[in-house]
Amino acid sequence: MFIGWIVLPVVGFLYLRFGYVPVAVDGPMIPFEELLAGTAVRARIAREAPAKAALAATEEHIVAGARIYRERCVECHGIPGSTPTPEAKGMFPPPPQFFDQKVMGNEPVGQNYWIIANGIRLSGMPGYKAALSEQQLWQVSQFMANRADLSASATAILSAK
d(CA 31, CA 64): 41
Q: Which domain holds residue 33?
A: 3-159
Q: How far is the CA of 23 from the CAs of 16, 26, 30, 31, 159, in angstroms?
A: 11, 8, 9, 13, 35
Buried b (16+ CB within 10 A) or exposed e, 70-98: bebbeebbbbeeeebbeebeeeebebbbb
> Given this model, what pLDDT does residue 99 score?
87
The amino acid that residue 11 corresponds to is: V
* Phi, psi (rounded to 5 degrees) for 125: -80, 110
> Given this model, what pLDDT does residue 104 score?
61
In the predicted model, what is the mean pLDDT of residues 62-87? 95
Task: Please count the structural domains in the chain.
Answer: 1
> Given this model, what pLDDT does residue 1 score?
67
